[in-house]
Amino acid sequence: MRGSVATLWDDEGNEYIDCGASFGVGNLGHCHPAVAEAIASQARELIHVGPTFGTPAKAAFTEKLLSVAPRNLRRVFLSNSGSEAVEAAIKFARASTGRTGIVAAMRGFHGRTMGALSATWRREFREPFEPLVPGFTHVPFNDIEALRKAVTPDTAAVILEAVQGEGGVHVASPEYLPAAREICDAAGALLILDEVQTGMGRTGRMFAIERWGVLPDLLTLAKSLAGGVPIGATLATEAVEQGFKGSHNSTFGGNPLACAAGTAALDVTVRERLWERADRLGTWAMDELRALDAPGVREVRGLGLIIGIELRGKAAPVLEALQEEGVIAIGGGSSVVRLLPPLVIPEEQWTRAIEALGRAMRNG
């Protein structure tokens, strides 16, 4: 298998438009030349060194990340995946507040390691591994009063996605995240925003949270952050760091290879203002899909280039029909077709993908 920009070829030479961006990793598409070059050049210099050493690659990446991050987040902890970024956020929240409770949202997805899984909602993901970590509760997403009731003097943090991706592309209401901020402040709890899937331009802003004008205490990033190389990042305020009692680390976290790739990926994203492209292509596609008025479609929703088409039936047959037409999309729950194309997808391919989706929905 090989890939270039938004195209994937399988071993038989079949060609696909990758509208899942390989589970949201490929904001820059496959094998972006700037990322490939950064990896090759760093690999000739230093691939790995223990996390106690600072490296120029890590310093450059941290500086670049902080230059685009919400202005209150000045501390960065680097790891290797979204789940690890969430684990770190949960640990930092508990160790910084001295409290244990974590409030998460129904339909939320935060990863599959034990702490991150405890914040994840879906029963099928959780049940085989119970008992999970104690202290987690779940409230209906976008329900401000339910959140207010769930946050207590023992709440260390509330963890939310601005757009629930895996849970079926549900967008937070304009009031929800500001209310979550106010509820956390009133209770002395921290607000963790999980932007593993929505970060780095996908929603039409560098970070989705910018649309709500809210500053979180902790922000988790991963997926496309290093242009396809495994990475996770947990950003925190100085206050969180100062309150932190304990130790946390990762052998590979902040390794020079991932950092060099990350700097290159962020450079391209910023230089090409890819969030603007995401906004434009996403708005166009959602208008097209809504105009189809297909009887099998319950709702089209999304933000920028994270789009969910909720069907009246199952998503699997539509996903299969699309793949036969050479378009890869992914599910989001059993009845939602989720599109997460590369932000750099050529317009001609994006148009073809939306046309194929239209045919699959009309026939589905």
Ligand X SMILES: Cc1ncc(COP(=O)(O)O)c(C=O)c1O
Residues with active-site annotation: 109, 194, 223
Residues binding ligand X (CB under 6 A): 81-83, 86, 109-111, 161, 165-166, 194, 196-197, 222
Q: Do strands 232-236 and 75-79 pair parallel, antiparallel, or not at all (unpaired)? A: antiparallel
Other residues' Cβ atoms within 10 Å of the Cβ of residue 326: 16
CA distance 40 to 35: 9
CA distance 307 to 29: 17
Give whichever of 199 and 364 is closer to ligand X, judged by the CB atom. Answer: 199
Give whichever of 164 and 349 is closer to ligand X, judged by the CB atom. Answer: 164
Q: Count of residues for the chain?
A: 364
- Quote the least distance from Cβ 90 to ligand X, whole Å: 12
CA distance 283 to 304: 6
Check: CB of residue 120 under 8 Å from CB of residue 109: yes
* Nearest by Cα to 361 from 293, 283, 284, 286: 293
Give whichever of 99 and 338 is closer to ligand X, judged by the CB atom. Answer: 338
Give whichever of 282 and 332 is closer to ligand X, judged by the CB atom. Answer: 332
- What single-letter DSSP state applies at residue 113? S
Kind and range of the H or E element at 158? strand 155-160
Give whichever of 208 and 285 is closer to ligand X, judged by the CB atom. Answer: 208
In the bound state, the residue with its beta carbon closest to ligand X is 82
- Quote the least distance from Cβ 167 to ligand X, whole Å: 9
In the block, which residue shows the tokens 């709500």? 212
In the block, which residue shows the tokens 């450079």? 267
Check: CB of residue 268 under 8 Å from CB of residue 32: yes
Token pair of 31 as six digits:
């094998």
- Quote the least distance from Cβ 120 to ligand X, whole Å: 8
| Sheet-wide strand order for 190-194 | 75-79, 232-236, 218-221, 190-194, 155-160, 101-105, 136-139
Kind and range of the H or E element at 235? strand 232-236
- Quote the least distance from Cβ 89 to ligand X, whole Å: 10
- Quote the least distance from Cβ 209 to ligand X, whole Å: 13
- Quote the least distance from Cβ 287 to ligand X, whole Å: 26
Give whichever of 194 and 217 is closer to ligand X, judged by the CB atom. Answer: 194
